[in-house]
Amino acid sequence: MRLLGAVLAGGRSRRFGSDKALALMADGRMLIDHAVAAIAPHVETVVVCGRTVEGMTSLSDRPGPDMGPLGGLNAALHHARDEGYDAVLTTGCDMPVYPAALVEALAGEGAAVLKGQQLAGFWPAGLADELDAHLAEENSRSIYGWLERIGARIVERADIVLPNINRPQDLAGLPKS
């Protein structure tokens, strides 16, 4: 199976107070760099959605900005379909780890997300047109509404715990890599 990795990085970082993707971790590398490095071993190629990152394939949110994570996911799904990938594995720019057990739990039939971390997901590329339709309709553009619409699996695994980084102080507790 050909997997495209997508780092969703178009958020506004309201709770963080500054651009979360560019926040430095204890090792001096940006949070987005950790997210790219974490997902890369599990996919053929990694793209960044919602912002331009020098040296990487960067995709603008689709159909336009301010669509939340679904705009980035939509861009990734269309890119994956157009380039012959079977599915997209997603992560947020604030997820510095992506364990192999998570990939194994998500990959399979249909879309799936990790409970409590809906940006950690597996999305068949064939969902591109369905997400276009969803975003064209009058709705909240909530990822939860999208998950319900497509009947996504919600994976619950107590052994997979991902850091939740919403404030600068949340970075302090993360181990150096």
Binding-site positions read: 8-10, 61, 94
Token pair recorded at residue 75: 């861009």
Collapsing DSSP to helix, strand or coil, 75 comes out as helix
Residue stretches of the annotated binding site for GTP: 8-10, 61, 94
Token pair recorded at residue 138: 């009058």
Residue stretches of the annotated binding site for Mg(2+): 94
Cross-strand pairs, 118: none
Token pair recorded at residue 144: 């939860």
Using a CB cutoff of 8 Å and minimum separation of 24, what contacts does 63-66 make? 63/132, 63/135, 63/136, 65/10
